[in-house]
Structure formats: structure tokens, C-alpha cells
Amino acid sequence: MAIFALDKELVFPPVHLSEPDGLLAMGGDLSPERLVLAYRHGIFPWYEGEHILWWSPDPRFVLFPGELKVSKSIKPLLKRNEFDFTINKAFQQVILRCKETKRPGQEGTWITNEVERAYCKMHESGYAHSAEVWKNGELVGGLYGIKMGKMFFGESMFSKQSNASRFAFTRYVQLLKEEGILLIDCQVYTEYLESFGARMIPRKEFIQLLQNLLPR
């Protein structure tokens, strides 16, 4: 099946036309308008080399906040507030740390300078949010993503200290649940997020949830 080439027009092909691995299209730009449109349709960007690639995998890896699993190692850290936890205090620092973090099995990072600028604009527009954890005034872990309607679309996280990202993710999911968020998009499978209770659902079900949980 052909991969669709995007131009300046703000439009995406139907997600059911994606490749078996979820690749749907390439090109276009990372303007806030295009990114919002992509998330509304269950599509997310990922760079390979110099090209923007757009994905909508089937099945989709998600976490329902009510199914969050809090590990035994994290419970005592939460109880004694081992880290200081903040929201949207250091968005630019968080995305920069995510960009700089080396990850097993990955060469380089998909977070290019263009991605960094684009999501900082999304933050300024009120769509992108960050959660940070601090130890003795130092930023040691965090994550960022997009919040729309009753959904949060996770993008990346980092940790400079043992359990820092796990603490950040757990606290933030608990907070999102309190705010009325009903679904967290984790995009693709990772063993790490599975340990929190994330699981696969059919893309068709994911798209239906999008339609129900996002404002029209």
C-alpha cells in the first residue's frame, strides 16, 4: 500500500489505509493546527532522518487511568513524598532532557530541533503539558504530552535518578484521573508502560474512544 505524501493542505488520509506497521503518511509540517488535527484522528508524528512520518498503529497501546498499577517500590516513595512534584513548571527543560536521553535500541532521538520548537508552541497554546520531579532543587525526571478533552497523549519521559520517571508517571496519572481524564494514549508497546497497566486495544476501538472523549 502506498505511503501518502502530505503537502500544505491540512488533511490526513483515513487511518485504515496505514501500512501494517502503522505508517500512514510522510511530509507536511508540525504546525499546531496540523498536530491538533493529527491527534484528533489518532495519528502522531515520528521522525526518521529528516522526514516527518505520521503513524496510526493497530492495535494501539493505551492506559485507562483507573487501571493504573502502582508498584511496591513506588508506594513508599509516594507516601513520604520522596520527590517534589510539579506541573508545567519546566516544560522546555523536560523536552530537552527527553531529547538528550539515550535509549536502548535507538540510534539518536526522534525529538529533533523542529519537534522541540513545535511542542513548545503547543505548550504556549495550552495543549502540551509537562510533569516534573525534583530532588534538592534539581530536575531529575519528568514527562510531557498533549492534553485534549478527556484524553492525554503521552509523548516522552526521562529519568536521571532511580524511580524518578516512575514517580512522575504515577503521580501524573493519578492527577489526570482526578481531573477527569479517561484515557492515556501510550502509542506503541513498551514493557515499561505495561508494568503500569497499559494494554493493547484495537485501533477501531481507540478511534471510537477519541470521538467520544475529545470535544467536537
* 66 and 21 share one domain: no
Alpha helices (H) in the chain, listed in sequence order: 32-40, 75-79, 91-100, 113-124, 164-178, 191-194, 203-213
Calculate mean pLDDT across residues 106-127.
88
* 137 and 187 share one domain: yes
* 168 and 202 share one domain: yes
pLDDT band, very low/low/confident/very high, at 1 (cuts 50, 70, 90): low
By the 8 A CB rule, do 52 and 28 touch? Answer: yes
The rounded percent of the chain whose pLDDT value lies above 70 is 96
By the 8 A CB rule, do 44 and 54 touch? Answer: yes
In this prediction the pTM is 0.94
* 15 and 67 share one domain: no
pLDDT band, very low/low/confident/very high, at 101 (cuts 50, 70, 90): confident
* 65 and 165 share one domain: yes
pLDDT in tens, 158-184: 999 999 999 999 999 999 999 999 999
Task: In whole angstroms, give the CA distance from residue 80 to residue 67.
Answer: 23
Residue 175 structural domain: 61-213
89 vs 48, higher pLDDT: 89
CA-based nearest residue to 47, from 119, 99, 115, 122: 115
**Residue 3: pLDDT above 90?**
no
Task: In whole angstroms, give the CA distance from residue 130 to residue 109.
Answer: 19
Give the angle 23-129-32 at the CA atoms, nearest 5°.
55
- In this predicted structure, what is the pLDDT of residue 2? 72
**Residue 27: pLDDT above 90?**
yes
* 73 and 147 share one domain: yes
Domain CATH code at residue 46: 3.30.70.3550
Lowest mean pLDDT among 15-29, 40-54, 78-92, 202-216: 40-54
* 76 and 135 share one domain: yes
- In this predicted structure, what is the pLDDT of residue 79? 93
* 36 and 114 share one domain: no
Domain CATH code at residue 182: 3.40.630.70
Block residue for cell numbers 540510534: 107
Q: Which residues contact 98 (CB under 8 A, 6 or more apart)?
A: 109, 111, 142, 143, 144, 155, 156, 157, 158
